[in-house]
């Protein structure tokens, strides 16, 4: 069984690398000229630059992926896991404390291995292409704050779950699920009020008249805008985005200042209309319900497998602590996740198209959203020529060329 698992893991890893390679090669082939919406926005020089950006990103991703595979092989198949398990067992007493320490140290090691990559990505790669706007000091402050927030959340979630397992050994799957569901709802509320302000500065929109237009747009679909804010994302990166949060009918709209720099008002409103589409078409609610159903099934499956005592045998081990078995389960879940990715990507692309249609109907044409997307692709050096297979497996949004052509074709369809 151990060999079979090893073979499946290696196969998936090779497949992942092969897909990256396929995607990169596809982009370097000759392509038909870009459609009209791209003229004047993206020229040959831009394309060459975005190709160089993708190549640099892929190279880094490849090295990072290789390090990840090597560490996994060493830990799960090289005999490190049982050794680590016994070591933690001898270090502290008590089910909850042992479990917490087991995961905390592993997360810390994982973070340490990730640090050089994060540094290189920000200060070499993103810097070279003009995206990085972060000072080393800000990077350190961010790291410190993330560790603090992450540590508190980890202690709360992992500690609470382990406690529930210890007090309700026959039914913990239901309790743990309920605990996580409650916590995630609580975090939706807490995040914009407590966590995000730790990292970003939110302020009212500077552009005169824009807030009124945003409120008018939201009112059109019966959504009340609580606060309309801009956020100083430009302190960190040149990449741009827009989002809104909030449960119920009162929404908090947040626009990246980089987005405000890059788009005209009409394009910005079209992007917001698309986001509103997600809410109006029930995508956010559906995603929440779907993830809770999946979480419930996972909790039950984990409970059943952990009680079956089959897990240590999968790696040829006699015994493994509860935490060690949960880790193994998580890894098995990530293998299964690879096969689930195309399904969830397809589902997401379908919803993106629905939200696009909603935006077209609301704004009256697809032209503004299309030109906004083209500008964002220009600013973000996005890949205009992804491999269709890569799109099918990984893309949560339709590929840009296809999306823009679709939007343009819709421009006169209304009324
Ligand atoms: Zn969307």
Domain boundaries along the sequence of the chain: 202-262
> Which of 130, 118, 170, 113 has its CA nearest to residue 50?
130
Tokens of 265: 């008002």
Q: How far is the CA of 395 from the centre of ligand 1 (A)?
A: 12
Q: Which residue pairs from 306-313 have beta carbons closer than 8 angstroms and sit at least 24 positions apart in sequence?
A: 313/1
Tokens of 176: 């743990």
Q: How far is the CA of 297 from the centre of ligand 1 (A)?
A: 27
Confidence of residue 411 (pLDDT cuts 50, 70, 90): low
> Which of 335, 303, 305 has its CA nearest to residue 5?
335
Q: How far is the CA of 360 from the centre of ligand 1 (A)?
A: 13
> Which of 63, 14, 10, 17 has its CA nearest to residue 390?
17
CA distance 33 to 36: 9
**89 close to 344: Cβ distance less than 8 angstroms:** no
DSSP state of 35: P
* CA geometry: angle 370, 371, 377, nearest 5 deg: 90
* pLDDT at residue 188, as a whole number: 84
Q: What is the value of pTM for the model shown?
A: 0.88
3-state secondary structure of 231: strand
Q: How far is the CA of 212 from the centre of ligand 1 (A)?
A: 23
The label of the residue with tokens 């790669």 reads 125
Q: How do residues 255-282 score in pLDDT, each as one tens digit?
A: 888 889 889 999 999 999 999 999 889 9
Confidence of residue 405 (pLDDT cuts 50, 70, 90): very high
Largest CA distance in the chain: 72
* pLDDT at residue 248, as a whole number: 62
**377 close to 49: Cβ distance less than 8 angstroms:** no
Q: How far is the CA of 319 from the centre of ligand 1 (A)?
A: 46
Q: How far is the CA of 275 from the centre of ligand 1 (A)?
A: 6
**276 close to 217: Cβ distance less than 8 angstroms:** yes
CA distance 399 to 366: 16
* pLDDT at residue 250, as a whole number: 67
Q: In what order do the strands lie in the sheet with 224-231?
A: 202-204, 224-231, 250-256, 242-245
231 phi and psi, to 5 degrees?
-125, 145
- In this model, does residue 415 exceed pLDDT 60? no
Q: How far is the CA of 180 from the centre of ligand 1 (A)?
A: 26
> Which of 289, 269, 276 has its CA nearest to residue 357?
276
Q: How far is the CA of 309 from the centre of ligand 1 (A)?
A: 43
Q: Name the pairing type of β-strands 224-231 and 250-256.
A: parallel
Catalytic center residues:
275, 356
Q: How far is the CA of 371 from the centre of ligand 1 (A)?
A: 16
CA distance 357 to 278: 10
- In this model, does residue 35 exceed pLDDT 70? yes
Q: How far is the CA of 273 from the centre of ligand 1 (A)?
A: 10
DSSP H or E stretch at residue 256: strand 250-256
Mean pLDDT (the chain) is 91
Q: How far is the CA of 245 from the centre of ligand 1 (A)?
A: 14
CA distance 84 to 91: 11
Q: How far is the CA of 274 from the centre of ligand 1 (A)?
A: 6
Give, in order, the Cα–Cα distances in Å from 118 to each of 58, 111, 172, 175.
14, 10, 37, 36
**96 close to 162: Cβ distance less than 8 angstroms:** yes
**394 close to 344: Cβ distance less than 8 angstroms:** no
Q: How do residues 98-151 score in pLDDT, each as one tens digit?
A: 999 999 999 999 999 999 999 999 999 999 998 888 899 999 999 999 999 999
Q: How far is the CA of 280 from the centre of ligand 1 (A)?
A: 12
* pLDDT at residue 249, as a whole number: 63
DSSP state of 124: I
**DSSP notation for 43-105:** -HHHHHHHHHHHHHHHHHHHHHHHHHHHHHIIIIISSHHHHHHHHHHHH--SHHHHHHHHHHH
**268 close to 372: Cβ distance less than 8 angstroms:** yes
Cα dihedral 147, 153, 154, 155 sign: positive
- In this model, does residue 206 exceed pLDDT 50? yes
User: Quick one: CATH architecture of 202-262?
Assistant: 2-Layer Sandwich (3.30)
Q: How far is the CA of 353 from the centre of ligand 1 (A)?
A: 8
Q: How do residues 299-354 score in pLDDT, each as one tens digit?
A: 999 999 999 989 999 999 999 999 999 999 999 999 999 999 999 999 999 999 99
**Which of 167-181, 198-212, 221-235, 324-338 is predicted with the least confidence, judged by mean pLDDT?**
221-235
């Amino acid at each position: 069984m151990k060999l079979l698992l090893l073979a499946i893991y290696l196969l998936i890893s090779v497949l992942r690398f092969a897909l990256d390679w396929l995607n990169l090669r596809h982009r370097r082939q000759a392509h038909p000229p870009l459609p009209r919406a791209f003229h004047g926005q993206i020229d040959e020089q831009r394309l060459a630059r975005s190709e160089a950006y993708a190549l640099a990103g892929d190279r880094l991703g490849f090295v990072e992926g290789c390090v990840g595979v090597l560490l996994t092989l060493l830990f799960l198949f090289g005999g490190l896991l049982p050794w680590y398990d016994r070591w933690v067992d001898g270090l502290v007493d008590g089910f909850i404390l042992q479990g917490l320490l087991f995961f905390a140290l592993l997360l810390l090691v994982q973070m340490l291995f990730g640090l050089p990559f994060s540094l290189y990505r920000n200060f070499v790669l993103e810097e070279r292409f003009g995206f990085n706007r972060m000072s080393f000091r800000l990077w350190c402050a961010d790291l410190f704050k993330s560790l603090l927030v992450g540590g508190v959340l980890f202690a709360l979630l992992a500690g609470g779950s382990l406690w529930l397992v210890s007090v309700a050994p026959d039914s913990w799957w239901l309790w743990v699920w309920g605990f996580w569901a409650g916590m995630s709802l609580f975090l939706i509320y807490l995040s914009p009020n407590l966590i995000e302000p730790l990292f970003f500065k939110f302020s009212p929109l500077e552009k005169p008249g824009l807030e009124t237009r945003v409120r008018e747009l939201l009112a059109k679909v019966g959504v009340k805008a609580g606060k309309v804010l801009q956020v100083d994302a430009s302190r960190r990166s040149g990449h741009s985005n827009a989002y809104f949060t909030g449960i119920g009918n009162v929404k908090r709209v947040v626009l990246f200042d980089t987005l405000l720099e890059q788009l005209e008002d009409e394009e910005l409103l079209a992007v917001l209309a698309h986001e509103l589409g997600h809410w109006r078409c029930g995508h956010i609610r559906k995603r929440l319900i779907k993830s809770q159903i999946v979480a419930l099934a996972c909790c039950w499956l984990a409970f059943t497998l952990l009680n079956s005592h089959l897990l240590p045998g999968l790696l040829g081990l006699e015994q493994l602590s509860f935490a060690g078995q949960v880790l193994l389960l998580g890894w098995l879940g990530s293998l299964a996740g690879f096969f689930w990715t195309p399904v969830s990507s397809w589902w997401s692309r379908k919803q993106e198209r629905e939200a696009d249609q909603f935006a077209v109907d609301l704004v009256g044409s697809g032209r503004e959203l299309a030109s906004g997307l083209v500008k964002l692709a220009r600013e973000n050096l996005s890949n205009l020529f992804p491999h269709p297979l890569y799109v099918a497996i990984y893309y949560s949004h339709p590929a840009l060329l296809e999306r823009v052509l679709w939007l343009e074709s819709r421009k006169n369809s209304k009324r």
